[in-house]
Structure 1
Amino acid sequence: MKTPHLALVLTLATALGLAGCSAGTSSPATSPGTETIGPQSTPDSTTAPLALSTIIDVRTPAEYAEGHLDGAMNIDVQAADFAERIAELPTDAEYIVYCRTGARAAAAVAQMTTLGFTDVTNAGSLADASASTGIAVVSD
């Protein structure tokens, strides 16, 4: 009697696991004035041209030295002076932010939005940012 129940439980667990792995079309929530881009997307064409964007790498200086987008500035989101350094930038300019996986970039975008920045894009990882912007990765 227990065998049919076990088979049913295993079948349901497998089905739920596969459904959770499917490539859905949902997108992460963003705040007004922010956007998340990936390797198949580019910043909204209604915004300023990419050449006018300031690109910020929010990884550690050591990670930045290993490879970063050409022309990107490095402001470590985990550094004690992150908010102070970001506050020195104009809040109405366009910014593209990236890190290693996109998680620190999301945290940086949230902090920047709280500080009044109005046009901030999370480009995700270094690879995603390079693919979506077309900017080469360089190292120091």
Structure 2
Amino acid sequence: MLLVTYPLIDVLALMLDRWDATGSARSRIAVRANVAISALAAVVLATVGSDTQHVLLVWGIWAIAAGAAQLLVALVRGRARGRWPMLLSGGLSVLAGAMFAVTATGSGDATLSVLAGYAVLGAVFFLTSALRLHRSARSLRLAGTAGAA
């Protein structure tokens, strides 16, 4: 169940980001695509059950697609809004997703323990981005208040 929850948390974070997005139309399209990718991943993960190789393969495909979309959003947004954590997170997701997919299709014993590091890094990047966004929003509010005075 936890494996289904992770992409759903991603959907929630992306929806919040989309509502807050002031970026270009391309950025908003990439965020919407990422919402759809993560929602679909959650549905597929719920249907594949506990078969380790299938879970790793779905997780890998999701990480590659979601990471690529995140990279696109970061590149389109330019310097604003927590770009570096998004670039790092997106790039690592693509690389980790490829590793998960290769592990799932390999002949060795696949275990879900490889997902633990990915989940921890994902949490760190979410927290880093949230803190940067909060600081940026606070600066904008303070600048708006100073300009109104």
Length-normalised TM-score, structure 2: 0.23
Which protein is richer in helix relative to its size? Answer: 2
TM-score after normalising by structure 1? 0.24
Say which structure, 1 or 2, has more relative contact order (CA 8 Å, 6+ apart). Answer: 1
